[in-house]
Every structure is written in C-alpha cells, then in structure tokens.
Structure 1
Amino acid sequence: MPLLWQTRLRSFAASAMAAARAGVEQRRSADPPIGRREGPIVLPNNKVLQSILKEYALRSVIDDDGDLAVRWENFSIYFFHYGRDDEVLQARLYLNRRFEVELRPTLALVLDDWNRSKLFPKAYTVLPDDGLVGICAEQAFDFEGGISRQQLKFTVGMWLQNLQQFADWTEEHV
C-alpha cells in the first residue's frame, strides 16, 4: 500500500498534467501554427541590415569585398553572409589592437577565461597576413526560413551590445 505522500504526489502530478494539456490545447487554438510568424518575413541581407543599423544611429560602410561594417575607435564589426541563400548571418568584431606572435598563447588563455565565463560572443585569436595576432569575437545564427524584421532588429541590437561588452572587457584584461 502506497504511503499517503506518494498518493498525494501522484494526485498532484495527475492534476498538473491535466492542467498542462488544457493549456497546450488552449494555446494551439490561439497561436499561429509553428513556423508562421507575425508580420513580413525578411532574410538578413545588407540592405535590411543597413536600414536597421541606421535606426540604431550607426553609420555603416560596404568594404571592397562587399561586406557590411560598422567602425568604432577601437574595433570594427563586420556582417558576413553564409549558406546557399545567405541565410546564415555572422557579426564578427575585430579589435584594432594587434599583438606579437609570441603573445598568442597568453592571449588564448585570457580569451579562454572569457569563453568559460560568458555564453556569448565566442572569442578567439587570428593570424592575419600582416604577421601580427588579432583578436576576434563573433555571433552567428541560421535564419533559414526568414525572420520578422522586428526580431532581426532586436537580434542585431543584442549582438552589437554583446560585442561591444567584449571589446570593453578586452580593454581591461588584455
């Protein structure tokens, strides 16, 4: 014979499950089907991104390679498109500061601390053609199927904020 607390627990679980099922059914009738979004759908192309950046009062440029960039005093953020339909968007920060190659292992350890303690953005070192070590941070997402413009604006705004916080962090730690 089950103990009284086990009986109560089973009764509570059954009640909770019934309430959850009722809530799901109610939401199904009120929400648009999965995969459908409110408002027009966009892909994150340069034209849409330039418009969003302008709304954030940021001046953007298209470089010689056709990449969209926003420049600050200590860093630049580039927007890259990947995928068959350019549905993957990446925002990548490049610090203007460069370091001697001998410092790369030390820099990697410092960036490991960032990556361990922060969820976003991902940070790493790069070795460009000039022979000096650079520091990058990036955020990316696959927008296959599109996204509402409002949600894209929010996402880009969060990425810019996160990348700027990383740049501030590097000023203190590197």
Structure 2
Amino acid sequence: MTAPGWLLRVLGGLPKPTKREPSDDEMPRPLTRDRVADYLLARGYRFLVDEDGDLTGTWDGSRFWFLLLGEQQEILQVRGRWQRTLPLEQRRALALAINDWNRERIWPKAYVREEDGALAVYAEVSADLEPGVTDVQLAQLLACGLGTGVQLFAALEPVVPAEGGPPPDVPDN
C-alpha cells in the first residue's frame, strides 16, 4: 500500500516541490472591473452594468454581482442571490440548511437576509487581491464564485418547498 503524496513528503519519501518563478506573462496585475468583464465576455456570459456601476447577470435564474470593494477596489466579491424568496416562517429550517452548507463546505459563504417581509439567500466568495492577480487566478476566483453559488442554490431546491419569484429582469446565462 502506498501513502498519499503529502504523507510521503512529510516522512521524507518525496522531494519537496520546487517553487516556480512566474514568467513575465504571469505577473499579477491590479484588479479592475474591465478584467472581470473581459473574463465574462470571453466565456460568452451576458451581463449588465447596474446603476452602481457593478457587473451583474443571472445564472440558472439567480442574480450574481461582481463587486470590487475596498479603498482601492482591491477586494473581489462574487455575490449571488437565490431567485426564490421564502416566508419568514421558514427561517429556522432555512437556517439549519445554511448552517449545514457552511459547516461542510468552504465556498461560498451562505447567509439569509430578511427583505420586504421575506427571506432571501445569498452566496459570497471574496478575495483580497491588493498585491494584484494573474488572469489564471482571476478566472479561478470568478469560476469558484459562480460555480459554488449555483451549487448552493441548486442544493436548496429539494430542501425548501417552492414559493417566491425570480429577481428583477437581467439576462440569464
């Protein structure tokens, strides 16, 4: 029987991985809204710029925002809002489902907010990119935010009885 690679490395059976110096084309660059938009366009995703200047669109019926936060807009946050809303009476059951999700998974952070007398579910993936970000890193973060957000919302579908409606009109991807 062989031990996993990390165990062999700890026990001295594998050489320590060498750090690879990034090439010129992999140097981190500042995070910008244009770079996020370029990623979305390159994948054929449809999105809008909202009244706050944030990029937004819908994936599987749920709205997602691509926010640049912080003093120098160095923090990337992919925030999704489930298309459904739930009655306040379902707060306890929903909280249990969200707690299970957060306990068993790293991404996305999931939470519930009360909005207009109903419950809304949000998903967030955030990263501080003050030192900059490569195109590959940015693509991974954006894919993680979208992919895990969609997974969270899909996982809630069979757990919560159908009720509520979609978010306001935005193009669906």
Distance 1:16 1:116, change over 3 A: closer
Q: Which has the higher contact order (CA 8 A, sep 6+)?
A: 2
Q: Secondary structure at the match of 1:52?
A: helix
1:164 aligns with 2:164: no
Q: Secondary structure at the match of 2:78?
A: strand
Structure 1 residue ranges (4+ consecutive) displaced by more than 3 angstroms after TM superposition: none
Q: Secondary structure at the match of 1:119?
A: coil
2: CA distance, partners of 1:142 / 1:38? 21
Structure 2 gap ranges (5+): 1-10, 161-173
Among 21, 42, 62, the residue aligned to 1:32: 21
Who is 2:44 aligned against? Answer: 57
How far is 1:102 from its partner?
2.2
1: CA distance, partners of 2:31 / 2:57? 16
Q: Which amino acid aligns with 1:32?
A: E
Q: Which amino acid aligns with 1:81?
A: L
2: CA distance, partners of 1:168 / 1:96? 11
8 Å contact kept, 2:84–2:120: yes
8 Å contact kept, 2:125–2:144: no
Q: Secondary structure at the match of 2:118?
A: coil
Who is 1:86 aligned against? Answer: 73
1:146 aligns with 2:146: no
Among 117, 136, 150, the residue aligned to 2:122: 136
Paired residues, number = 150
How far is 1:66 from its partner?
1.4
TM-score, normalised to structure 1, is 0.75
2: CA distance, partners of 1:140 / 1:37? 26
Who is 1:12 aligned against? Answer: none
Distance 1:52 1:102, change over 3 A: same
- The structure in which a higher percent of residues are helix is 1
1: CA distance, partners of 2:114 / 2:86? 10
Among 32, 35, 40, the residue aligned to 1:48: 35
Distance 1:37 1:127, change over 3 A: farther
8 Å contact kept, 1:74–1:97: no
Two-structure CA RMSD over aligned residues (Å)? 2.5
How far is 1:39 from its partner?
2.5
Q: Deviations over 1:54-73 (max 9, x none)?
A: 11221111111211112135
Q: Secondary structure at the match of 1:157?
A: helix
Structure 1 gap ranges (5+): 1-14
Larger Rg: 1
8 Å contact kept, 1:79–1:89: yes
Q: Could you tell me the percent identity over the aligned residues?
A: 28
2: CA distance, partners of 1:82 / 1:37? 27
1:68 aligns with 2:52: no
